[in-house]
Amino acid sequence: MFEKWLYRVLIGLFLLQVLLPFAGLIQFTLVGGSGALSFASFATLFSDPSFASSLLNSLWLAASAVLLSIVIFTPPVWHAYLYAPRLLRVIEAVSFVPFVVPAVVLALAYVQFFSSGPLDLVGTPYLLPFAFALLGMPFYIQVFLNRLRHADARAIHEAAQTLGASDFQAFVRIQLPLLRSGIINGSLLVFTISIGEFTITQLTTGGSYSTLPLYLLITFTNNPLEGSAMAVVTLFLAVAGVVAALSAASSRRRRIHAVTASEEAS
């Protein structure tokens, strides 16, 4: 009995510890200004034209990073999974590069490498989608591989080939629809990472290109209330991305369960 209550208390303490700062943030945004409940901070934020433009910049960068991830990572991971398991292990290992090379080191490397010659990209936003795709690479590849392993992609591909499809035809018309949920979930993670990225954006553009996180810090320094409203919005965007990825994964699993259950029943 004592043990059970101890565990409950521990779980409660955990929730308190991780949720308290966010409760504080939301309370400050809603009642911090006047002491009475008010949505004025959000009204200020949404009527701020710089907020709209930085949101647009962030969305554009995140969408480009997602597109790059899909185009660059999907075909080789799929091909290596089917035909070259040893190569797949190499790709997986390399995909963890961002864990050993943190954003600040990448930024340092980029400002030196992309500062001259044909790839003079420092100070422009064109470097960023590639950097974000690199940061999202381990997540995209893990999620996509997960889907590959669950979908029995190999057997289905062999069946398509037996029926006379070429590799390319089978990849585009059979495998891509089959692996769609993996691609979508991976994309959502890359999107979430891109929306929140601060370090590389600030250090390679020198703050000249305003994205959501960059504008958030400036706003918070000038007007804490509007800044924290923006933190709430950013948080909401990120939570929406992760929740969408999770629920897509679980509904997919439920559907598969339903299908196998009905097959077993019949």
Partner 1 sequence: MRKTSLIFVYGPLLVFLALFALVPIIGVISSSVWVRGITSEFYAQSLSGQYLNAFVTTIKVAFWSGLVGLIGGGLAALSLWRTRWRWLTTAISALAGVLANFAGLPLAVAFMVTLGASGLVTNALQALLHINLSQMGFNLSSSGGLILVYSAFQVPLALLVSLPAFSSIPDDLEAAALSLGCGVPGYLWRVLLPILAPSLLGTFALLFANAFSAYVTAYAIAGGSINLVPIQIGYLIDGNVSLNVGLGNALAVEEMVVLGASLWVFALSVRLRAKRRAKVKGAMTIV
Three-point CA angle 252, 140, 205, nearest 5°: 135
> For residue 264, what are the contacts with CB-CB under 8 A and spacing of at least 6?
none
Shorter beta-carbon distance to partner 1: residue 220 or 262:
220
Shorter beta-carbon distance to partner 1: residue 9 or 56:
9
Q: How far is the CB of 263 from partner 1 (least distance, A)?
A: 25
Shorter beta-carbon distance to partner 1: residue 36 or 265:
36
CA 23 from centroid of its chain's CA atoms:
24
Q: How far is the CB of 40 from partner 1 (least distance, A)?
A: 16
Q: How far apart are CA 197 and CA 234, in angstroms?
A: 11
Shorter beta-carbon distance to partner 1: residue 46 or 262:
46
Three-state SS for 172?
helix
Q: How far is the CB of 266 from partner 1 (least distance, A)?
A: 29
* DSSP-assigned letters across all residues of 222-266: H-HHHHHHHHHHHHHHHHHHHHHHHHHHHHHHHHHHHHHHHHHH-
Shorter beta-carbon distance to partner 1: residue 14 or 39:
14
Give backbone dihedrals phi and psi of 265, rounded to 5 degrees, phi first: -65, -35
Q: How far is the CB of 35 from partner 1 (least distance, A)?
A: 11
Q: How far is the CB of 20 from partner 1 (least distance, A)?
A: 7
> For residue 97, what are the contacts with CB-CB under 8 A and spacing of at least 6?
134, 137, 138
